[in-house]
C-alpha cells in the first residue's frame, strides 16, 4: 500500500494529550530541550521519510524477496538505497548516547520511528530494528574496549546487529544449545556451531554485521546456567574500527518463508569464528535478556503496525467498494449500491481494527516511556517501579498485541473479500507478514507462562498489585465524572476480578502444576483486554476534557475517540467472560488423554 499515511494525529493524541510525553521526558532529566514543537517536527520528517521511501518498497520487496548465492544475500531493489538515506539523515542515531555519535533523544523516540517504519514496511524495518538490541546489549554489558569498537558504528547505522539464539534442535529451550566457544591464546574464542532463523543475519545494506551469539564454554554447567554471550562480527574490526578481514561466520542458506520476504532469515555457520566474551562467563542468558526484552517490545510494535496497516487499507476500500443496499435505507441513491462501510458487519471489523490499533498505540507508548525512565537519571525508586511495570506488561504487550494485530490483519483481508486473497491489494501480504509475530521472541504460549508463572505467581502477586494500584488511582480520580461512570465502573470491576482469578489459579496450582500452563494463554489475553480497557478509559477521559474546552475545534476527532472507546467496552472487553470460563474450567480436560493415546 504505497499511499500509506502515518497516523500523526493519533500519535500526537497519545503522546501529547493522554501521556503528556514531553513533560514526562523533561521531568526524568537529560531531555530538557525536548518540546512539543520539536517532537512534532521530528514526527513530521520521519513520516515523510517512511511514506516516500519505505512504503513504496513494501509490495515490491515482498514479491522480489531476498536472493542467496554462495553465501551472499542481496536484498530487494531499493532496500539498500532506502537504508543509505536512513543513515545519511541521521535516523539511526536518534536516541543513542552522544558519546558514541548519537543525538541524545529519549529511547522512546526510536520506538516512535520504528512504529512508523514498521507500519510502512516491516521487512525493511527489521534490519535497523535488530541493531537497537545489539547496541543495548553492548552498552549494558560490554567492556570499554568493546563499546569503543562497536557502538559508534551501530549508532550511526554503518553496521547492523543480530541476535543469534536458535539452533536446529532447540528454539525456546536454550538449555539444549550446542554451539561451543573454545578459548584462543589471545583472549578471544573460537565459535563453532550453527544458528538458524537469524533475521537480517546476512545482507548487502552494510559492510559489517555484529552478531550477538549464545555459546558454551568448555566444561560449562549443563542447561541454561552454562551459557555465555559473545560478540562475533562478520568482519573483524581494525584498530581504526573499520571493517577488516572476514571472520569465520557464513550464511549457509536463507529460509523460504510464509512472509517478510524482504528480510533475510538466515542459517549461519560459525566455523571457528573469532568471538569476544561479553559479560561474565556462564551468565550469557541473563545478559541476552537485555536484547530479548528490547526485541519483545519491538515485536509488540509489529502487532500494532499490522493492525494499523490493515485498518488503513480496509477503510479506504470500504469507502469505495459498492455492494448491496444498507438495511436501514439507501445511503448512496445516485449509485447502483451503497459502499460496504454502511453494513454493520463491515463496521464491526473496521471498529475492531481501529480499537486495537489505537489502543495498542497508547499501550506501546506508555511502555516506551517506562524504558525512558529505566535508562535515565531518575531516582532508584522510580526506576525500580518502571522496571517492575515493564516486567509485568512486556509479555502482555508482546503476545496480546501480536494476536490482536493478526486478527486485525485477517479482518482486512475479509473486508476486501475475494480481492483480499490476491496479491494486488497487499492485504494478503499483511496477513503473511504478521503471522511470524506470534512466534518469534517467544511464542504466545511462552509469553503467557512468563506472565503467569514467573511474573505474577513468581512475585507472589506483587507486580500485579503494583499495576492494579495505578489503575485504581485512575478510577478513584475519575469516579465523579458522570460521563465516564460506566467505563470506570467496568474497569474497576474487571480489576477486582483479575485479582480474584489470579488467586484461584495460584491455589489450584499448589496441588496441580499443570494448572498454570492450562490457564496461562487465556490469562494473558484476559489481562491484555483489561490493560487496553485502561488505555481506552484514559483516552475517553482525555477526549471528554477536550470537548469541554470552549476553544475545542476538533469535535469530530474527540467524539470519534469516545465512540471507539464505547465500542471497545461494548464489543471487545466482553470477550473476558469466555476467558474467565475457560480459566475456571481448570486443566482436567486438557490433560485427560495420555500422550501415548493421541491418535488420528
- Please give the positions annotated as active site: 441
- The helix (run of H) or strand (run of E) holding residue 544 is helix 514-548
Contact 96, 135 (CB under 8 A): yes
Three cell numbers, residue 241: 574500527
Strand duo 235-237 + 249-254: pairing? unpaired
Residues contacting residue 589 through CB under 8 Å, at least 6 positions apart: none
- Closest alpha carbon to 263 in 162, 179, 169, 172: 162
Contact 386, 374 (CB under 8 A): yes
Residue 12: CA atoms inside 13 Å, Cβ hemisphere, count?
A: 17
Classify 196 as helix, strand or coil.
Answer: strand
Residue 153 backbone zone (phi > 0: left; psi -120 to 50: alpha; other: beta): alpha
Residues contacting residue 208 through CB under 8 Å, at least 6 positions apart: 153, 158, 159, 160, 233, 234, 235, 237, 243
Q: Give φ, ψ of 574 to 5 degrees.
A: -60, -10
- Residue 282 CA to residue 321 CA, distance in Å, equals 59
CA 4 from chain centre, in angstroms, equals: 20
- Residue 136 CA to residue 440 CA, distance in Å, equals 19
Three cell numbers, residue 280: 561474565
CA 312 from chain centre, in angstroms, equals: 19
Contact 550, 572 (CB under 8 A): no
Amino acid at each position: 500500500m504505497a499511499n500509506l499515511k502515518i497516523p500523526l494525529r493519533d500519535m500526537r493524541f497519545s503522546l501529547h494529550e493522554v501521556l503528556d510525553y514531553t513533560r514526562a521526558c523533561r521531568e526524568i532529566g537529560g531531555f530538557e530541550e525536548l518540546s512539543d514543537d520539536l517532537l512534532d517536527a521530528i514526527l513530521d520528517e520521519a513520516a515523510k521519510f517512511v511514506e516516500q521511501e519505505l512504503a513504496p518498497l513494501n509490495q515490491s520487496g515482498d514479491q522480489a524477496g531476498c536472493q542467496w548465492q554462495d553465501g551472499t544475500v542481496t536484498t530487494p531493489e531499493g532496500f539498500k538505497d532506502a537504508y543509505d538515506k536512513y543513515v545519511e539523515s541521521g535516523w539511526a542515531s536518534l536516541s543513542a548516547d552522544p558519546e558514541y555519535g548519537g543525538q541524545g533523544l529519549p529511547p522512546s523516540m526510536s520506538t516512535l520511528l520504528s512504529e512508523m517504519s514498521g507500519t510502512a514496511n516491516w521487512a525493511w524495518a527489521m534490519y535497523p530494528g535488530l541493531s537497537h538490541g545489539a547496541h543495548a546489549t553492548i552498552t549494558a554489558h560490554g567492556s570499554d574496549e568493546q563499546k569503543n569498537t562497536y557502538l559508534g558504528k551501530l549508532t550511526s547505522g554503518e553496521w547492523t546487529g543480530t541476535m543469534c539464539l536458535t539452533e536446529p534442535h532447540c528454539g525456546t529451550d536454550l538449555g539444549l544449545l550446542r554451539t561451543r566457544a573454545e578459548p584462543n591464546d589471545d583472549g578471544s574464542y573460537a565459535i563453532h556451531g550453527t544458528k538458524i532463523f537469524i533475521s537480517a543475519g546476512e545482507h548487502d545494506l552494510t559492510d559489517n554485521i555484529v552478531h550477538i551469539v549464545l555459546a558454551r564454554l568448555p566444561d560449562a554447567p549443563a542447561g541454561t546456567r552454562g551459557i555465555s554471550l559473545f560478540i562475533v562480527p562478520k568482519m573483524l574490526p581494525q584498530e581504526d574500527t573499520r571493517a577488516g578481514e572476514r571472520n569465520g561466520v557464513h550464511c549457509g542458506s536463507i529460509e523460504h518463508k510464509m512472509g517478510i520476504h524482504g528480510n533475510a532469515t538466515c542459517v549461519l555457520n560459525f566455523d571457528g569464528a573469532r568471538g569476544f566474551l561479553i559479560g561474565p562467563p556462564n551468565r550469557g542468558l541473563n545478559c541476552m535478556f537485555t536484547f530479548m526484552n528490547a526485541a519483545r517490545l519491538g515485536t509488540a510494535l509489529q502487532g500494532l503496525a499490522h493492525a494499523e496497516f490493515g485498518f488503513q487499507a480496509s477503510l479506504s476500500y470500504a469507502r469505495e467498494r459498492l455492494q448491496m443496499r444498507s438495511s436501514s435505507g439507501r445511503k448512496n441513491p445516485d449509485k447502483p449500491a451503497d459502499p460496504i462501510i454502511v453494513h454493520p458487519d463491515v463496521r464491526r471489523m473496521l471498529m475492531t481494527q481501529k480499537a486495537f490499533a489505537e489502543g495498542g498505540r497508547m499501550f506501546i507508548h506508555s511502555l516506551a516511556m517506562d524504558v525512558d525512565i529505566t535508562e535515565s537519571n531518575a531516582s532508584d525508586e522510580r526506576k525500580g517501579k518502571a522496571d517492575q511495570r515493564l516486567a509485568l506488561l512486556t509479555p502482555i504487550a508482546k503476545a496480546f498485541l501480536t494476536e490482536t494485530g493478526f486478527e486485525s490483519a485477517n479482518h482486512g483481508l475479509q473486508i476486501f473479500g475475494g480481492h483480499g486473497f490476491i496479491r494486488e491489494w497487499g492485504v494478503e501480504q499483511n496477513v503473511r507478514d504478521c503471522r511470524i509475530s506470534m512466534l518469534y521472541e517467544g511464542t504466545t504460549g511462552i509469553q503467557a507462562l512468563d506472565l503467569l508463572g514467573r511474573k505474577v505467581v513468581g512475585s507472589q502477586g506483587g507486580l500485579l498489585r503494583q499495576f492494579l494500584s495505578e489503575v485504581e488511582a485512575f478510577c478513584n480520580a475519575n469516579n465523579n465524572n458522570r460521563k465516564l461512570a460506566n467505563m470506570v465502573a467496568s474497569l474497576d470491576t474487571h480489576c477486582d476480578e483479575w485479582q480474584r482469578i489470579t488467586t484461584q489459579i495460584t491455589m489450584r496450582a499448589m496441588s496441580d502444576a499443570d494448572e498454570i500452563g492450562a490457564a496461562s494463554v487465556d490469562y494473558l489475553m484476559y489481562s491484555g483486554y483489561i490493560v487496553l480497557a485502561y488505555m481506552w478509559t484514559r483516552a475517553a477521559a482525555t477526549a471528554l476534557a477536550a470537548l469541554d474546552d470552549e476553544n475545542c475545534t476538533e469535535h469530530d476527532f474527540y467524539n470519534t475517540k469516545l465512540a471507539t472507546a464505547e465500542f471497545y467496552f461494548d464489543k471487545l472487553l466482553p470477550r473476558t467472560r469466555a476467558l474467565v470460563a475457560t480459566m475456571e474450567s481448570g486443566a482436567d480436560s486438557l490433560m485427560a488423554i495420555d500422550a501415548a493415546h493421541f491418535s488420528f
